[in-house]
Amino acid sequence: MKVALSVFILLAVLLPLMSMIMTGDGTLKGMLQTFVSYGLSLTSLLLCLLTIIMASHALSNDVKNRSIYLVATKPIRRSQIVCGKLLGLVIVDVFLLALFSGIIYGLTMMIPKISGANEAEITQVQKEFFTARVSLTDPVDKDMVKELTLQAYAKLQADGQMPEKMSPRRVLQELQGQQILKASVVEVGTEKVWEFENIRLDEDVESIFVRFKYDVASGPLDTQIVSTWLVGDYRQIQVGLATLQTPIHWEDRSDIIRTFYEFEVDRSVIAPDGHLSVVFRNHLTNQGTVVPEEVQVLFKAGSFSSNYFRAVLLILVRLLFLAGLSVSLSTWLSFPVAVLVGMVIFVMGTVNGFINESFEYLSTGASVIYGLTLRPILWFLPQFDGVFNPTEYIVSGKFISWLFLAEVSLTTVAAKTLLLVLFGIWIFGKRELARTTV
C-alpha cells in the first residue's frame, strides 16, 4: 500500500532530521527529552494510523473486489482467514516498530557524543535521563477532596448561589480544583511536609532525587521563589531531638515557577525504618503564597535500555489492539466506515482519562444508569493517555515495571482485543459473501 511506503519514508527522513534540529531548552537534557518525546510520539501516531488503515483494508477490500472468493471457496475456515490477516498485520507492526524505535534509540545514544556538551551536563543526563527511576508521590486524599467538593456544592445549592451559566459538572470541577488548591498552598513564612514510608534502596543506589515545580496562588507570576528544602527524617526535629540519628539535607534554592527542577540527596538521609520527609519552607522574602506541585522522590530501579524496551512494548500493545479492532470492523463494515470508526476510537483512547473523569460526579440515579449502560461500553475503549503513555516514562526517566506491562497487556490484548477478534470471526462466519443466482 502506498500509505505504508509514505509512513516508512516519512519516519526514515524525519527522525534523523529531528535529532539534529531539536534543542529543547538549550541543555543536553532538554535536547534529549525533546527528541525522544517527539520521536516516539510521532512514531507511535503514524504506526497507529497506518495500522488502522491497513487493518480496515484487509478484508473489506477483498470482499469489495471479490478476491475473497479465491480463498473462501477452498477448505479454509473463515476464522483462519481473519486470523491470517491479523497475523500479517502484527508481523508488519513488529517489524516497523522495531526498526524505527531502534533508530530513535541509536540517535539518542549518539546525541551526547556529537552535542559538544561539557562533563557536568553528561553527568546530569546519566543520572536524570539515561536511567529508570521509581517515582514516589504523596497522593492527594481523593475521598476527602470529593467529600469536601460535594459539601461545597450542596452549600451553593442551599444558598441559591449556583452559577447560572455553568453546568453542574463544570461547577463540581471548579470546586474540586479549589479544594485541591487549598490542600496544596503554602503561605509566606510557613512550610509543608510530604511523608514517604517503606523506602528500600538497592545497594548500588547511592542517591535519591527530589523533583518538583512551583505555581503561585497569589503574587507576581514572573517572580522567582526563594525556598528551603529539608530532606530526611523530619520526625527528629518535630520531637526536638538534641542529636540527629540520621542526617537531614538542607537545600536553599531560588527557582522560577512552572518549570520542573530536581536536586540530588545522599541516600543516608533515609531513616532505618524507610521513612523519609520532604519539607518545603516558603521564605518571608516571597511576595505571595506558593503551590509546590508534583513533588516526587525518585531513585534508580533499572537501566535506560531495559526501560526503553518496555516503553516500546507499551506502544506495541496499542498497535495490537488497533489491529484487532480494525480487522474486526473490516469483517462487517466497508473500508471508509471501518477507518472512520477506528480513528474515532483511537482519538477517544488518547483522551480516555478525560472521558472517565466526566462521569465522576453523577447523581445516585445517574450513576446506576451509567454503570449498567455506558460503563461496559467505555471499558472497551483503549487507554493511551496518563500512565499508559510510554513517552512520559522515558522523558522523565520513570521506571516501567514488568508487572505493570503485564497488567496492561492482559487487559488490552488478552481481554479486549481477543473479544473484538472473536466478535469479528463470528460476524464473518455468518456473513453471506455471495448469493447464488440461477
pLDDT for 223-245, tens place per residue?
A: 788 999 999 999 998 888 778 88
> What is the rounded average pLDDT for all residues in the chain?
87
What is the pTM assigned to this prediction?
0.82
* Least confident among 14-23, 283-292, 341-350: 283-292
Burial 258-274 (b: 16+ CB within 10 A, else e): eeeebeebeeebbbeee
Work out the average pLDDT over 56-75: 78
pLDDT for 322-359, tens place per residue?
A: 999 999 999 989 899 999 999 999 998 998 877 776 66
Helices (H), 76-167: 78-114, 119-128, 142-159
Q: What is the DSSP string of 17-52?
A: HHHHH--TTSSHHHHHHHHHHHHHHHHHHHHHHHHH
pLDDT at 220: 62
Listed residue (286, 280, 279) closest to 188, CA to CA: 286
185-302 carries CATH number 3.30.420.40: no
CA distances from 59 to 24, 69, 81, 191, 372 (A): 44, 12, 9, 63, 33
Q: Which residue has the higher pLDDT, 431 or 344?
A: 344
**Cα dihedral 15→20→22→27 (10° resolution):** 130
Identify residue 184 by its one-letter amino acid code. S
- Asked whether the predicted pLDDT for residue 14 surpasses 90, the reply is yes
Please name the residue that has the C-alpha cell 455468518: 430
**Cα dihedral 340→343→347→350 (10° resolution):** 160
In the chain, which residues fall in CATH 2.60.120.260?
A: 185-302
C-alpha cell at 398: 520513570
Q: Which residue has the higher pLDDT, 354 or 315?
A: 315
Q: Given pLDDT bands bounded at 50, 70 and 90, which one contains residue 140?
A: low
Q: How far apart are CA 121 and CA 125, in angstroms?
A: 6
